[in-house]
Amino acid sequence: MDKILFIVPPHISFDDFISPSFNVKTIQKKGRNYGSSFTDMPLGVLAMSAYVKKHTDAETRLVDFSIEINKLEDFDFNSFGDFFSSVLSTPRWVEYAPSIIAISALFTPSYRSVLDIAKCCRDIFPNSIIVAGGGVPTNLYKEIFRDSVCFDAFCYGEGEKPLLGLVKADDKLRYLEENPSWITRTKVEIGQSFQHEVIEDLDEIPFFDYGICELDDYGLNPAISAYASIDDKKHNFHVMTSRGCTHHCCFCSSHTVHGRRMRYYSIDRVRDDFKRLRDHLGAKTIVFQDDHFVADKQRAFKIIEIVKGLQITAVFQNGLALYALDRKMLEALKSAGLNQIVLAVESGSNRVLKEIMHKPLNLSIVKRVADDCRELGIYTNVNILLGLPGETKQDIEDTRSFLKTINANWFIILCATPLVGSEMLDICLKKNYLKGSYIDCDYKKTVVETEDFTAEYIKEMAYILNLELNFVENSDFRLGNYKMALKGFENAIRAKNDHAIAYYCGAKCYKELGNLDKALQYMNTAKIAAEEPFWRKYVDMFKIPI
């Protein structure tokens, strides 16, 4: 019987964890700030585990290092490698003695950790087959083979069928060499091409194997904790009801793993899964991770009715295509308990949307969607990307002006990141726009410089727009919704506990709400924080009277 150990690396580089930038969320351990790593449930791993168990007697277990880091009261390691080794060398895992170690990595901030984990595993489990899959190995297999001698193979695209074949194989190393969905060093050296091996009918995948997760630990997820409209931050379960996306947005690379053609779980299957999550695992919130949930609007309506009937809450962490959010859809979402939604606007410039991003969105509908959401009581987060190749400073000013007209509750201003497998990265490489490594890159770090802007300019403008839209000109405060505005400000304080402007804005809210003692406390804290040069710069920029 095979024993599979799935490992998920932290979604943050060691340097960004130890020395977080000024513009990122942080967590505290014994009074020291560290970078925060998202802890989404690893759905690909849960699907593979369920699929392999359906067809074999294999045993599976999971180490999610984002969870492991969040649980630590202190971090006294000199590197992630030391930390990984300390966990994997414990009797729990040594005695488990996995025959297959499968590392799952979606995005490049995990790149160095993938290498470190493989080295630890090769030292601790010398007889194990070590493989990896996800967006990073699918797109960076040549680089990983260059930087590591510890891997036996990488999975090309989705992993259920390739992993099952590996488990069933008598001669596993031979199977890796013969199956076209597995990338080996020999195949790369001879220039062999690779093939996706996907499951067409997603109902073939059993109910996700949530049992290999330590479920309570995922309540620490910073993504969910930042949702101002959700009071119960625990009892949330991530799901995917489809795979694929038909769009061709230049900044996205999900198609390299899942393809562009839509595949769906059946409605009956979705209903059964959600009911099982509620009745057997205590789910109160379903966090949808579909890349394009509203690709089929009628199907989306049916799933919303399921959520409504089960009296659970829906969260769409990846955002929903705005063109599908007519009043009928929004009313349906609200009736199903949806209190918060991400509006994937991405840019306030029609030119950027059409000519650069290739995103099917006309800005004329954004204000209507935001106003409808506010009227219906749906909290709106607006996603914005700055710094794509081809974007100009004037485009950014156009975006800035446009967003000031939108009555959204909160704006998430991100720096465009050249993801491996994306058209954006291809353009940056072709035009020599990269002024730093795209390895380890995330949406707060900038490495793109063009004829129109520097990387530092984009990073600074992203932070200025964040302060301007979310604090100085906060829509909730301007419209008199002081309690909701305060939730946003206090979320910011939890993420950055010296946030002078958040304290100032919070003080104004408490004053309007009649809590003068708390208003005075926050104002005094704001004044102390504003003495720091970092905050004084922005306080003066926006002429804030503290």
Q: Quick one: 270 and 168 in the same domain? A: no
Domain-embedded: residue 465: no
Report the pLDDT value the prediction gives residue 436, as an integer from 0 to 100: 85
pLDDT of 79 > 60? The answer is: yes
Amino acid 443: pLDDT: 78
What pLDDT digit, counting tens, does each position of 180-202 carry?
999 999 999 999 999 999 999 99
pLDDT score, position 345:
96
- pLDDT above 90 covers a percentage of the chain that reads 83
pLDDT digits (tens, 9 = 90+) for 452-493: 999 999 999 999 999 999 999 999 999 999 999 999 999 999
**Cβ distance 344 to 317 under 8 Å?**
no
Question: Does 236 fall in a domain?
Answer: yes
Contact 236, 224 (CB under 8 A): yes
Q: Which residue has the higher pLDDT, 33 or 425?
A: 425
Mean pLDDT of the 120-149 span: 97
Listing DSSP states for 8-43 in one string gives E--SS-HHHHHS--TTS-EEEETTEEEE-------H
Axis crossing angle, helix 327-335 with helix 297-310, rounded to the nearest 10: 20
Q: Which residue has the higher pLDDT, 23 or 297?
A: 297
Confidence of residue 502 (pLDDT cuts 50, 70, 90): very high
Per-residue model confidence as pLDDT tens digits over 246-292? 999 999 999 999 999 999 999 999 999 999 999 999 999 999 999 99
* pLDDT surpasses 60 at 226: no
Residues 490 and 435 in one domain: no
Do 316 and 352 belong together in one domain?
yes
Please compute the mean of the pLDDT values over residues 169-189 and round it to a whole number.
97
> How far is it, in rounded angstroms, from Cα 533 to Cα 527?
12
395-445 tens-digit pLDDT: 999 999 999 999 999 999 999 999 999 999 999 999 999 998 888 777 778
Asked if residue 420 and residue 519 are part of one domain, the reply reads no
Query: Quick check: is 525 in a domain?
Result: yes
Instruction: Give domain status of residue 498, yes or no.
Output: yes
**pLDDT tens track for 197-216:** 999 999 999 999 999 998 88
pLDDT at 234 (0 to 100): 61
Answer whether residue 215 is part of any domain. Answer: no
From the centroid of its chain, how far is CA 172?
33
- Number of domains comprising the chain: 3
Residue 539, domain CATH: 1.25.40
Boundaries of domain holding 103? 3-189
Percentage of the chain beyond pLDDT 70 is: 97
Q: Are residues 105 and 235 in the same domain?
A: no
> Quick check: helix, strand or coil at residue 409?
coil
Residues 491 and 228: beta-carbon distance below 8 Å: yes
**Integer Cα distance of 130 and 140 in angstroms:** 16
Q: What is the pLDDT of residue 22?
A: 75
Same domain for 107 and 234, yes or no, is no
Cα separation of 526 and 501, whole Å? 7
Residue 126: count of CB within 10 angstroms of its CB = 7
Query: What's the CATH code of the domain at 154?
Result: 3.40.50
Together in a domain, 449 and 410: yes
What band does 232 get if pLDDT is binned at 50, 70 and 90? low
- Within-domain flag for 475: no
Do 328 and 426 fall into the same domain? yes
What is the rounded average pLDDT of the residues 81-85?
97
Give domain status of residue 69, yes or no: yes
> What are the phi and psi torsion angles at 360 (to 5°)?
-80, 75
For residue 370, being part of any structural domain is answered with: yes
- Over residues 313-328, mean pLDDT: 91
Tokens 């059409």, located at residue: 354
Q: Among the three residues 404, 436, 453, which one is the final residue of a domain in this structure? A: 453
401 and 292, same structural domain? yes
CA distance 184 to 192: 10
Q: Are residues 58 and 128 in the same domain?
A: yes
Please provide the average confidence, as pLDDT, over all residues in the chain. Answer: 93
Task: Look at 141-145, 156-160, 252-256, 351-355 and tell me which has the smallest mean pLDDT.
Answer: 252-256
Angstrom distance (rounded) from CA 297 to CA 264: 13
What is the pLDDT at residue 444?
Answer: 79
Do 84 and 225 have their domain in common? no
Domain with 390 in it: what CATH number? 3.80.30.20
Domain end call among 132, 166, 189:
189
Confidence (pLDDT) at 351: 97
Based on the fold, state whether residues 248 and 183 are members of the same structural domain.
Answer: no
